[in-house]
């Protein structure tokens, strides 16, 4: 469960200060939560609050009762994060090494690391690419690798900030299919509205505020109206 209470976030100070989230409160316990909104409405900032990458200027964010302000480390172990650009989040030279990277310093034996990495690569259809340099993968495969590298650490929540924006439709679908199968709580920021079908709840952001909160069709309709 993720509880965001009375969060306001300001970037910069003085004359350059800019409020990007204004008094946002929401409790998310659903399995699938979507987030939509115009560019610059604060979605990415909101997503980054959920794993403590951004600590709010005011208000609190609790993940399973842990405060991101004081327990960022435990929070990040529970909340996996997937970015838009897979090239930036793949940090090791080869596929297998990148997946194994997240398991460092966890006190696992080499054997355990190997079997967990193999299992996750198999699941994401990357087993035959295990020793390939990451830069030779296609865009869709890179995003699947990024997802695999996050999931191998077995987080209980996963937050994704527009993971399909740089992908073509087929690869976007592929990534979405994998998301659909996850047992974890998923919080998905996206402009691909069709991916929200079957979601339990969708939040709509506009100009730093949470302006709508409801089932997907209703929220998507509200979003389309506000954009018109």
Partner 1 sequence: MSLGLYRPGRSLLHRAPAWSKLLLLLAAGASSFLLDRPWQVASALAAVVLGYAVAGVPPGVMLRQARPLVWILAAVAFFHVLASGWERAFVVVGVLLALVLLAALVTLTTRTADLLDVLVAWMRPLRVVGVDPERVGLLLALAIRSVPVVVGLGQEVRDAQRARGLGASPRAYAVPLVIRSLRHADELGEALAARGVDD
Closest among 154, 156, 160 to 144, alpha carbons compared = 160
Closest contact distance (angstroms) between CB of 16 and ligand ADP is 8
User: Could you say whether residue 97 binds partner 1 (CB under 8 A)?
Assistant: yes
User: Could you say whether residue 44 binds Mg ion (CB under 5 A)?
Assistant: yes
User: Could you say whether residue 190 binds ligand ADP (CB under 6 A)?
Assistant: no
Q: Report d(CA 46, CA 159) in Å as an integer.
A: 10
Q: Report d(CA 142, CA 154) in Å as an integer.
A: 19
Q: Report d(CA 171, CA 209) in Å as an integer.
A: 31
| Among residues 6, 11, 194, 198, the one that binds ligand ADP under rule CB under 6 A | 11
Closest contact distance (angstroms) between CB of 121 and Mg ion is 29
User: Could you say whether residue 51 binds ligand ADP (CB under 6 A)?
Assistant: no
User: Could you say whether residue 164 binds ligand ADP (CB under 6 A)?
Assistant: no
- The string of DSSP codes covering the chain is -EEEEEEEEEES-GGG-EEEEEEEEEEE-SSEEEEEE-TTSSHHHHHHHTTTSS--SEEEEEETTEETTT-HHHHHHHEEEE-S-HHHH--SSBHHHHHHHTTTTS---HHHHHHHHHHHHHHTT-GGGTTSBGGGS-HHHHHHHHHHHHHTT--SEEEEESTTTTS-HHHHHHHHHHHHT-SSEEEEE-S-GGGGTT-SEEEEEETTEEEEEE-HHHHHHHHHHHH-
The interface with Mg ion within residues 56-95 (CB under 5 A) comprises: none
User: Could you say whether residue 85 binds partner 1 (CB under 8 A)?
Assistant: yes
Q: Residue 81 touches which of Mg ion, ligand ADP, partner 1, none (CB < 5 to 8 A by kind)?
A: partner 1
Closest contact distance (angstroms) between CB of 116 and partner 1 is 15
Q: Which is nearer to ligand ADP, 12 or 198 (CB)?
A: 12
Tell me, residue by residue from 74 to 113, as one string, x for binding to ligand ADP by CB under 6 A and - for no binding. ----------------------------------------
Q: Which is nearer to partner 1, 130 or 211 (CB)?
A: 130
Nearest position to ligand ADP, beta carbon: 44
Applying CB under 8 A, what is the total number of residues that bind partner 1? 30
Residues that bind ligand ADP (CB under 6 A): 11-12, 18, 20, 37, 39-45
Residues that bind Mg ion (CB under 5 A): 44
């Amino acid at each position: 469960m993720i509880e965001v209470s009375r969060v306001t976030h300001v970037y910069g100070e003085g004359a350059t200060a800019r409020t990007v989230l204004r008094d946002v409160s929401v409790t998310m316990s659903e399995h699938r939560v979507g987030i939509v909104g115009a560019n610059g409405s604060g979605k990415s900032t909101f997503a980054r609050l959920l794993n403590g990458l951004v600590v709010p200027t005011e208000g609190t964010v609790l993940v399973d009762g842990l405060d991101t302000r004081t327990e960022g480390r435990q929070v990040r172990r529970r909340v996996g994060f997937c970015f838009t650009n897979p090239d930036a989040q793949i940090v090791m030279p080869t596929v297998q090494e990148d997946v194994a990277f997240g398991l460092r310093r966890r006190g696992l034996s080499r054997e355990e690391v190997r079997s967990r990495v193999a299992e996750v690569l198999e699941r994401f259809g990357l087993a035959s690419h295990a020793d390939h340099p990451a830069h030779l993968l296609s865009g869709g495969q890179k995003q699947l690798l990024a997802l695999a590298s996050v999931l191998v650490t077995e987080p209980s929540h996963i937050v994704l900030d527009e993971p399909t924006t740089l992908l073509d439709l087929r690869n976007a679908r592929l990534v979405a299919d994998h998301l659909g199968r996850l047992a974890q709580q998923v919080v998905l920021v996206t402009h691909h509205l069709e991916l929200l079908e079957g979601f339990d709840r969708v939040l709509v952001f506009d100009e730093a505020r949470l302006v709508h909160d409801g089932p997907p069709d209703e929220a998507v309709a509200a979003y389309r109206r506000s954009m018109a």
